[in-house]
Chains A and B, each alone.
Chain A
């Protein structure tokens, strides 16, 4: 609908967690559209716009590694929080020593992706192509971001760079990646939406969120 942007994103580690293996994390082979959207939003976002990812280029070979981490098992119940808010003297804490769970992870190593995306307007306000595009480009060029962009999980920070053209991907041939998470439908009970991902010579075409290509 409006102008597109091209952003190169890379990092040492990445974990685009599969929903079905969310506990003992296993990553998808490539970046999910929702993760790409998160990177773009971290750089520039306003309530008037919504980022839509068009294409994802995989610019480095896909490599996995295994890690194990100690994490917290439970969430603090809402009741405890409200009690602490009302009653200043009660302490609100969660001690990992009592509440440890070891979770393994099959994560990606040394990743680099090229994200092609454009933004769309959510409502009637602030429809100003030039302004939004310029802001994004300026911020991306200067390395500005609201929060540190990350690759799937927050602990895997991402580096980004605005580019005109992407390098050739080292991957060749067609690969069917199965049903991949497209994004979460926040408007509709946080349901997950999936699409059939096919990688051709390292490029994945991402269908628009509301379309026949995305079921749910």
Chain B
């Protein structure tokens, strides 16, 4: 299904002239320099194709002829382009010493002869003359040789705009050569993508662009150890895919994973790509939805869309029935594993995401708190800020799965956040939002638990919520009495108050009385405490994880309420 969807996407890409996608027999490669030749085949100069982007030199992506098989070992040259080892017969090693590669250069010459030996095309003739006359010893004498050495080079005829390999005669010669040299050793079998009986690819084109994968490319279909093979089948014959479909899906996936792609985002360790059946604006906005810190989406339009889906509606200009695919890949050396795969419609996805944000809705503490937190914001709250390790990778994938499937969030999320709160006594907006989202979702889907409010709810009689409010009130009393204290009851008692209230609260209430006596407007606190305790019958001996979550929310809501009320009470104080 996955490979098929990618092949479908490839078909869409090649029919779309605005996208630069390679056809069969070609590939998009990173090229550094173009060597300009005159008609006689003399090398004129090298032009640097690289550009400065974000303080890094970025190589130019050009579509060049390339056979579908990966070049692994041995000496084989590419046609009309390659690194200087082949094209000039010379390169430098890591110490900067020049080494000559005569065999490689000979292969390059031979390839040219084989493919287009009798061509009369100007450009090809010039290239062949260059290959005939070039002396490898001249390479180190080229201006800025250290920069050029070892890099990828394409050719251009002086005075022309295009590259020699792009000339129609060159393309034709190349494709004829490819067709004739089709591997006799490739077996025929049923392709699992197309369903047709056709030659099967032994090795699939490599995939680039997945974080932490091998630089020389990785593969979804990759049988690089003997324990992975079955029935004595070698390599990719274990999973028969035709040569053409293999090229299609790999090219489509590489296109989605390219550096400047707007259709990929990173969710913890899973590089995620997404695409729609046909062109749609949702394709580019989805990344923003999952990661709103990326501001390239255009904020006003995004805000409208997000507001709409949180309400459960879809903006009218978006076609809801179109199919939408999401693929999460994570690297394991030279292999890629599927972290998740989701195939659904635009409407479905929008609904699920809207539900997610609606579950997350929580009163904010600062105006800078994001109203629509991205995945990264959420997952950050499960880790120790001082540690450089990211959140556990399986957790991120599980959360995205939960969002897309509309199922409860993983339990691990709740316990991770509550654990962090107890460890560093920091209960911010994001953590409160996460807890509320987990509990609210469980309540809605599984039908148990309580309603979780978005802002302070004085009518809520849930014991854990009340205790959280009580704790916040006591803390405030202490702050009023001893402003600027180094350690409040929150630092000392939060953990035990939320998990074993019966042990801790009597002591806290006693302390609270002292604070109330000392503070100027302590009687206000006293009244509030009275109000809360009025609904408590007894302190529970211990509280479950869900209850600890409610405790945290009650605490957060009450505290927020104090901050907004503070101005009022100051005024009251001033008037009195």
- Give chain A nearest CB distance to B192 CB in angstroms: 5
Q: Which residues of A sit under 8 angstroms from B223, Cβ to Cβ?
A: 22-23
Q: CB distance A19 to B240 under 8 Å?
A: yes
In the assembly, what is the distance between CA of A103 and CA of B336, in Å? 10
Q: CB distance B337 to A24 under 8 Å?
A: yes
Question: With contacts A24-B337, A63-B405, A65-B398 known, is A73 near B195, CB below 8 A?
Answer: no
In the assembly, what is the distance between CA of A190 and CA of B189, in Å? 11
Q: What is the interface of chain B, defined by CB distance below 8 A to chain A? A: 1-4, 189-190, 192-193, 195-197, 220-228, 230-231, 233, 238-241, 330, 332, 335-341, 394, 397-398, 401, 405, 407
Going nearest first, the 10 A-B pairs with the smallest beta carbon separation are: A24-B337, A104-B337, A216-B190, A190-B231, A20-B239, A19-B239, A178-B1, A26-B338, A73-B225, A23-B228
Q: Which residues of B sit under 8 angstroms from A181, Cβ to Cβ?
A: 192
A74 within 8 A of B: yes
Q: CB distance B241 to A20 under 8 Å?
A: yes
A155 within 8 A of B: no
Q: CB distance A215 to B197 under 8 Å?
A: yes
In the assembly, what is the distance between CA of A193 and CA of B195, in Å? 9
In the assembly, what is the distance between CA of A23 and CA of B192, in Å? 16
Q: Which residues of A sit under 8 angstroms from B397, Cβ to Cβ?
A: 66
Q: CB distance B336 to A24 under 8 Å?
A: yes
Q: CB distance B1 to A102 under 8 Å?
A: no
In the assembly, what is the distance between CA of A73 and CA of B336, in Å? 16
How many interface contacts (CB-CB < 8 Å) are there between A and B?
A: 110
Interface string of A67-85 (1 = CB under 8 A from B): 1100111110000000000
Question: With contacts A24-B338, A66-B397 known, is A74 near B192, CB below 8 A?
Answer: no
- Give chain A nearest CB distance to B127 CB in angstroms: 39
A135 within 8 A of B: no
A90 within 8 A of B: no
Q: Which residues of B sit under 8 angstroms from A67, Cβ to Cβ?
A: 394
Q: Which residues of B sit under 8 angstroms from A71, Cβ to Cβ?
A: 227
Q: Which residues of B sit under 8 angstroms from A63, Cβ to Cβ?
A: 405, 407
Nearest B residue to A184, CB-CB: B231
A118 within 8 A of B: no
- Give chain A nearest CB distance to B77 CB in angstroms: 31
Q: CB distance B192 to A194 under 8 Å?
A: yes
In the assembly, what is the distance between CA of A105 and CA of B397, in Å? 12
8 Å CB contact of A215 from B196, B225, B238: B196
Q: CB distance B335 to A196 under 8 Å?
A: no
In the assembly, what is the distance between CA of A20 and CA of B231, in Å? 15
- Give chain A nearest CB distance to B342 CB in angstroms: 9
Q: Which residues of A sit under 8 angstroms from B197, Cβ to Cβ?
A: 215-216
Q: Which residues of A sit under 8 angstroms from B335, Cβ to Cβ?
A: 23-24
In the assembly, what is the distance between CA of A169 and CA of B338, in Å? 28
Interface string of A178-216 (1 = CB under 8 A from B): 110100100000111110100000000000000000011
A21 within 8 A of B: yes
A177 within 8 A of B: yes
In the assembly, what is the distance between CA of A65 and CA of B338, in Å? 11
Q: CB distance A22 to B239 under 8 Å?
A: yes
Q: CB distance A68 to B338 under 8 Å?
A: no
Q: Which of A64, A66, A194 has the most CB of B within 10 A?
A: A66
A148 within 8 A of B: no
Q: CB distance A22 to B339 under 8 Å?
A: no
